[in-house]
Each structure stands twice: as C-alpha cells, then as structure tokens.
A and B are shown apart, each in its own frame.
Chain A
Amino acid sequence: MLRRMTRLLSGARQLDPGRFLHRGSPAPQSLDAHLDDQRPRAVSCTSEDDPARHGEQHAALHYHIPLQDLKTVFPQGLPPRFIMQVKTFNEACLMVRKPALELLHYLKNTNFAHPAVRYVLYGEKGTGKTLSLCHVVHFCAKQDWLILHIPDAHLWVKNCRGLLQSSYNKQRFDQPVEASIWLKNFKTANERFLSQIKVQEKYVWNKRESTEKGSPLGAVVEQGLTRVRNATDAVGIVLKELKNQSCLGAFHLLVAVDGVNALWGRTSLKREDKSLIAPEELALVCSLRKMVRNDWHGGAIVLTLSQTGSLFKPRKAYLPQELLGKEGFDALDPFIPILVSNYNPKEFESCIQYYLENKWLQHEKAHTEEGKKELLFLSDANPGQLERLCAYL
C-alpha cells in the first residue's frame, strides 16, 4: 500500500494514488531507457582490470574480474549475495573504493624485512568490508603472493557438528569438517606454491603414515584431505610452515581473515556434558591466533571485523574495541585501523549506473533524479542495503 503513495505534481492538483508510477506518456520513457544503454559503459566501469594499477582516478568505478580468476583466486570468500549477482550478470565487477585503495597503497610499499603489519578493516554493517578484502586478495594474487584466506572465522566457532578430541594436544578440540573444507579451497587457490614449498620437519600422523622432511607442502595438504581426522593438524602444520618460511623470502604471504573477532569472542559449541568451549580450546582457532601475531615478516595481515556472524555481540557494535573485546584488542595491538563507510554521492551514483547499465533496475523512475533520491534515502547510501533494495523480491 505504501508504494502507491500520492505525490504532489508541481502545478497540477491531482491526487491520484497509484498513478504516479505511470506519469507522463509511456513512449518517451522507453526511448530514454534505450539511450541509456547506448551510452558507453565508461560511466560506471573502468577498463583497468589489474588491481595493481588502480589509483585515485579509478575511485568509484567498477572493474572486471575475469571469471576464470574468480574460480582460482576466490574458491571461498566472496559474500553469497555477490556470488548471486555474479551469476546473474555473468560478470564479476567490483567497485574501487578509497579504503581498498589505501590498503593497496600500503601493501605496495610494504617492507618485507619488517614484521608483518596488521590492517583491520572495520565499519558498520553492510559498508563493504568483505568486498574490500576481496579486492586486496585479488591484488595480492595477481602479484603472486601466497594467499591464506579464511573466508569467515565465525564458521569455525559455531554450528560445528563433528568435534573430536585432538590427538596432538589432549585439551583441544578438532574440527575435521571445517578444516578439510578450508584445505580444499586453499589447495585450489595456491596450487603452484604447494609443490615449491618444502616442509622443514618430519610429521608423524599415526603409526603408519608420516610426512618426511623436505617433502612438498602439497603432501601435507593431501594427507589432511584424505585423512579427515588429521585435517585440523594438517591445517596447523601448513600455517606453521608458511609462517616460518615466509621469513626466508621465497614468497610473500598474505594472511586475510574475515570476521577475526570470532577468534577472541565466545563460541556456541558445547562438549558432551553441555559445558561451553572457550575459543582457546579449539585447535584451529589456536593456530590462527598464532598466525595473526606479528612475529614473522615477509608479508602482511589484513583482517576484517564483522558483527553479522558474531556471537553474543550487540547489533550496533562495529568498533574494534567493542567487537574484539579487551583480549582480542590486546592481541592485535598494534594494528592499522581502516574505516569502511557508506557510499559517498559519487560512489552511489556509480553503483546505480552500474545497475542501470546491466538493466537490473526496471522501474520507470529508476533513472530519474527523484527515483535516485528515493533510493538514496531508503538505503542511506549503505551498499548492503542498496543491494537488498534493488534485489528481486
């Protein structure tokens, strides 16, 4: 009912509910739409597809990610709504925004002799932290870094079915399912490194199986994938090895964790006697915490805070102090905070143009000024909200 709001027509006094959608004669409006298509797509898209060359002049423009790249670089980690959009439009376009540009600038100027710098992307819900992270990951992948991308740390602290007691450390718990999924995606993302990196210690899995010193990392990953019981340990080994070897300089390591506040929050997992498990008692969480410490060099750590999947945190919390808690904040200190905020007018306009060019917005008023103002008001320039507003029902 609210959609049929009466509108004041300037000069005319008709109060016609439900007719404002069809104001004016239909013919000129369809012509208008045609003209929109024929305009070059440079309005909202840029042809610069290499993130390394993105600069200030590309701010608020969309750039393409080839779908092939998408499969290798991002087997995991893209937000589900974005994946749906990619499937619909048959192309993956990411907007170049200031926080990502800032991060790229820092990354380009990293000194690999110094300890890894931690960058924390934080902001309100729906402002684009995850996609900024993906932009950075794409850049690093193009630069041939080794990507250690944990798509959502919250998945490791809630809703886990098979919890096993760890064989390595009796007090900890293993999560075979999550670990194996992650190993699979890690393998897809970093195929070429798996054969190059050699393990530096001997690891005994059980009475019959062991990995010799000097064998490629791929062997450890295979072991984790085939023997699901050892998957968590395999993950731990991979992380340890990578950390140690990145200091040697053979490759650059990017540790990208989305929802890092899960590592220091609470879990919703329970033991058999229904007592809660603390995050420290999860092996995966422990190894990840060690990874995120800045006692290694040769790479960078990019983290994102997220309230959306977090447990027991109020909806309006978005600051690092609130989401990480004292423990997490101390563990991550010092870090460089990067605020991701809502769209500025230029970015908003660009986003709407992108939708219009893809013929996603079908409403007659979508390309008029009033329509844009309505969308701006209703979404308050929040990217997530705008996407939901423009989505199909």
Chain B
Amino acid sequence: MAAPCVSCYAALSCRLFLGGRVSLSQKQGVWKAAAAELQTGTGSQILRLRHTTGVSTKKNVAALRRETYTVDFIKKQIEEFNIGKRHLANMMGEDPETFTQEDIDKAIAYLFPSGLFEKQARPIMKHPEQIFPKQRAIQWGEDGRPFHFLFYTGKQAYYSLMHEAYGKLLEVEKRQNQLQAKGLFSEKTKTKDLIDSRWLIKEELEEMLVEKLSDQDYAQFIRLLERLLTLHCGSEEEFVQRFRRSVTIQSKKQLIEPVQYDEQGMAFSTSEGKRKSAKAEAIVYGHGSGRIKVNGIDYLLYFPVTQDREQLMFPFHFLDRLGKHDTTCTVSGGGRSSQAGAIRLAVARALCSFVTEEEVEWMRQAGLLTADPRVKERKKPGQEGARRKFTWKKR
C-alpha cells in the first residue's frame, strides 16, 4: 500500500484500522476521518485539516457506501470539541463555563472572516452530533443474530414506533372503556391548542429514526397519531408532542413603531421604506385632512403620473383612512416609480402604529408591509443585457 501520505505513521495506523469493523471509505481526499483518528497523542486541538489520501486495495466500490463512524470515534470528537470550546473561550476572553453555541459561532466568524456567499461553505464549529450524520450502531451480535426482534422487517425503528403508538392507542381505548363502564367517563377534556405546531415532516422523521421511509409509511404514521389525538388522551400528550414542531406566526415578527407626540400634542409616527435604489422616510400624523407633502412639494406636483399617486393611495385606501392623516415624506434616489413604491412602504409601516394588530396582519397579507426584493439583474458577459442575448446570426 504505497501511497503518498502526510506521515507514514498515518499510513500505518490506517492499515491497522482497515482490518477493524469500521471500514473507512478510502476515496481521495477523505480528510477529517483519517487524520483525526490518528492524533493519538496530540491532545486538544480544534479540528485540523490534514489531507491524507486514502490507501485502497479494492476498486472504488467503497465510494458508493456512506462513511461510517464508530461510537468511540464520535466520543473522541465530542471530547475534542469540548476542549476546543474551552480553548476558544479562553482565546476570546470569555468564561469557558458559560460559552454557548451562539458565542462559538460569533467567535469563529470573527476569527475566520469569510466572504463566501454560500453560508454553508463558511467555517463552522459545531457539536459533532450536528456534523456527523447519525448512524445506526451495529445491529447484530457476534454470532450474527440481530438484537431487535423486528430487524428482519427491514425498517425496525419505524415498525417498533408504530407498535408503540398502536399499543398506546389500545391502552387509551381500554381505559376509556373502563371509565365508561364505571360511568366516570367525562367528555370534558381539554385538547391542547394545535394551532401553533405542525407535524414532523417526512425528512425530520427519517432523521429521527435514522431510517429511510416511504411516503405511505409516513402517512400511515401520521394517521395513527391523529387518531390518538382524537381520543382525547391526556396521558399520551407527551408522546404525541415529540412529533410536533412549533410554528411561529409570521405577523408577530412585524416591528411596530411606537407613536410619538410632538410639541402640540399631535400624534405622529415615522418610518422608512425602500424600493430598488430609492429610500424614503415618511411621517404620518394622527389627525389631518389627507394632505401629502413630498420633499416639501405637494404630491400632485411631485408625481404628475396617476399611477404613482395610486401607489400612495393604496395604504390609506386599504385601511379606509383616506382623508384622515397628513403625511410628510422625504425621498431620494431611484426613479419616479421606485420613489412611489418606497413612500408607499414607509407610509404603510408608519400607519401600523395607528391601527389594530388584526389590521396589521391584513396589511401584511395584502403585501403592503413587505419590501419588494426585486433589483436590477446583473448584465452577464456574452449577452447584451441580463437576459437578452446578442442577435443570432446564422453565419
């Protein structure tokens, strides 16, 4: 096995591990796995990149198999991660005991600034559980007999989960029948509000069970859980909640400007808006007669085109407050249409402070509070514009 290695020590250990139960995929460029294994005496280090080209006797069949990591290996990684975390905390001058994952992320971003656009390509330091994919331990003993009784179904985790769920269902039914027989059954049981949570999606369930599922399996499982829910089981809530994830309501994230009061006691609210390259700032007064001044000029003179004035009208018209607010805006940049759009966004955001939360949600659904992300697309080389190609000439 003569292959260029960083150190022959590495090659030696590589060979030693080859015989073991773990088969490392020996494709070119496998870096962390081989290298990290071999740092026996080097102690605490943050993940070090060491390129070791794998030694391979067989052909590249192994490339198709996923890399498997031993339990010891993972444990070692976790130890190293923790030690590395403490070192990092020391480096940054923080307390190692209370160094959280967010602090680690911030520290890494500070120490290794990266301009890459793809966020997942930037340097990360996370707990090994999040980096290494979860793998199943070897499921049969030395004599070749599997540990789990459902091993030969092929999807042991899934079927055992189905068994468990169905078992709980039967239990609940039995209990309810008993209560009914005794006459103590009460219809009144509160069901937990399910509005802000959703079922696990298939990918999440697969990740949880470390097993591939089919769509029908997934659907069957969810149906079973729903059936469990309909039986008003108070005791199995915890079991079911394991399979639900919370969903944040979008509108709660909307930032509402507080209403300010000027010297005369008139309520007003300020906010900004952007569209393409136009920036606008609008001050909406609580009471008024519907006058709008843009950069000190009446809006009829500033926007001679009706389309722009319709854009300005949209937030007020939507909330039925056409003649009730006075507005003063400043706007710069962009063209006439983008200035109108920027002012519209600013005015809509400012109006949020005068309006109930429900109406804010309606505005958000109408699209008044979303900044338009469209910008001018870049021109590409070999083309005349962003999409337009040069005239095609046959010869």
Contact = CB atoms under 8 A, between A and B. Distances in A.
A376 B304 CA distance: 15
A15 B311 contact: no
A295 B311 CA distance: 53
B300 A6 contact: no
Interface stretch (A74-82, A214-222, A378-386): A378-386
A368 to B, nearest CB: 12
A7 B300 CA distance: 24
A8 B320 contact: yes
A376 B324 CA distance: 13
Given A2-B310, A15-B365, A15-B366, A373 B322 contact: yes
A370 B318 CA distance: 11
A352 B303 CA distance: 23
Nearest to B312: A377
Interface residues of A, number: 23
A374 B313 contact: yes
A372 to B, nearest CB: 10
A6 B366 contact: yes
B300 A385 contact: yes
A67 interface: no
A377 B366 CA distance: 21
A385 B303 CA distance: 12
Most chain A CB within 10 A, of B297, B301, B314, is at: B301
Interface residues of B, number: 25
A302 to B, nearest CB: 26
Contacts of A378: 306, 309-310, 313
A34 interface: no
B309 to A, nearest CB: 5
Interface in B262-321: 290, 297-301, 304, 306-307, 309-311, 313-314, 316-320
Nearest to B363: A8
A373 B362 contact: no
A377 B290 contact: yes
B39 to A, nearest CB: 61
B298 A380 contact: yes
B320 A5 contact: no
Contacts of A377: 290, 309, 313, 316-317, 322-323
B357 interface: no
A2 B301 contact: no
B290 A376 contact: yes
**Main secondary structure on chain B at its contact with chain A?**
helix
B297 A2 contact: no
A343 to B, nearest CB: 12
A124 interface: yes
Interface in B352-395: 359, 362, 365-366
A389 interface: yes
Contacts of A376: 290, 322-323
Nearest to B320: A8
A10 interface: yes
B305 to A, nearest CB: 11
Contacts of B317: 5, 7, 374, 377
Most chain B CB within 10 A, of A8, A10, A15, A315, is at: A8
Interface in A1-54: 2, 5-8, 10, 13, 15
A385 B311 CA distance: 16
Contacts of B319: 8
Contacts of A370: 320, 322
A389 B306 contact: yes
Nearest to B300: A380
A389 B305 CA distance: 11
Given A6-B366, A376-B290, A389-B306, A316 B318 contact: no
Contacts of B300: 379-380, 382, 385
Given A8-B359, A377-B322, A2 B299 contact: no
A8 B290 contact: no
Given A5-B318, A316-B297, 17 more contacts: A2-B307, A2-B314, A6-B318, A7-B320, A8-B319, A8-B362, A10-B320, A15-B362, A15-B366, A124-B301, A316-B301, A373-B323, A374-B322, A377-B323, A378-B306, A380-B298, A388-B306
A-B CB proximity, top 4 nearest = A380-B300, A373-B322, A377-B313, A6-B366
24 contacts: A2-B307, A2-B314, A5-B314, A6-B318, A8-B319, A8-B320, A8-B359, A8-B362, A10-B320, A13-B362, A15-B362, A315-B301, A315-B304, A370-B322, A373-B323, A376-B322, A377-B316, A378-B306, A378-B309, A378-B310, A378-B313, A380-B299, A380-B309, A388-B306
